[in-house]
Amino acid sequence: MTSTTLPGGTFAMADDLTVTRVGYGAMQLAGPGAFGPPADRDEAVAVLREVIDLGITHIDTSDYYGPYVTNQIIAEALHPYPEDLHLVTKVGAWRDAEGGWPLARSPEELRQAVHENLDHLRLDALDVVNLRMGGLGEPEPGSIAEQFEALAELQQQGFIRHLGLSTVSAEQVAEAQTIAPVVCVQNFYNVAHRGDDDLIDQLADQGIAYVPYFPLGGFTPLQSDELGSVASRLGSTPMAVALAWLLHRSPNLLLIPGTSSRTHLRENVSGASLALSDGDLRELDRIGA
């Protein structure tokens, strides 16, 4: 039976786009390093179906996970999609034969990427496309107008419903907003990496979602004495505490932790419901200090 209650409730990214604040990041459905096929494709399909059964309505993905692999598995597992499910993808990079992440940001490359996402996800229009800029985890200075204009044109043509940004600065968000509305920003942020605190608050004031990638540290999982101490006191795990902290941080934060395990998926969802006391929060604040 599908659950109707999840930690944090829902967030309206747009009038026609309301998602559960606890979402799912599909990157780990591909092989190691988000490259190649999964070790267990049947389990990957089962994880996605469990996502739906848990009541999650927000899946974050990209055609360059694999490449193609993750989107193909999503379509295999879930198409035709539930009416309330929203898929958010991103463009701006590619994968080479060695698993590297070369940039693919010319207008033509972005148009090609959007149409490939549509094809592999079996969709006529994408709910949200994030323009991925910046480096591995930090924004890079410079204009993003040419790239965002290319996506805005595809939006006007009906291939994209809403636009977002990834790995960008506050100045780049403002520049994009002169071209088309921005419904979400996806940057590197977690309890130990808080460089975007001001941007989160600015976006919250505008009703714009902030979606932290690597909420649990990414390829280098979070570790700290404070996380361990709070988790021990609550009878939980450090990763669950880190997710609960994010939901508490601001009402516009959406979670997209990833996993290739149904057990871990359920742990993430239940862990996000932890109630953190003022004392817990003060202790966790020492991590980012």
CA 231: distance to chain centroid? 24
Both structure tokens of 11: 């967030």
- The length of the chain in residues reads 289
Q: How far apart are CA 113 and CA 136, in angstroms?
A: 19
DSSP-assigned letters across all residues of 94-135: ---TTS---B--SHHHHHHHHHHHHHHHT-SSEEEEEEE-SS
Q: Which of 64, 65, 210, 213 is catalytic?
A: 65
The enclosing H or E element of 93 equals none
Both structure tokens of 253: 């934060």
In the residue annotation, 64 being an active-site residue is answered as no
Q: How far apart are CA 145 and CA 179, in angstroms?
A: 8
From the number of C-beta atoms within 10 Å of its C-beta (0-12, 13-18, 19+), residue 170 rates as middle
User: Helix, strand, coil proportions of the chain in percent (round to 5)?
Assistant: 40, 20, 45
Q: How far apart are CA 245 and CA 239, in angstroms?
A: 10
Backbone angles phi, psi at 89, to 5 degrees: -120, 175
List residues with catalytic annotation.
65
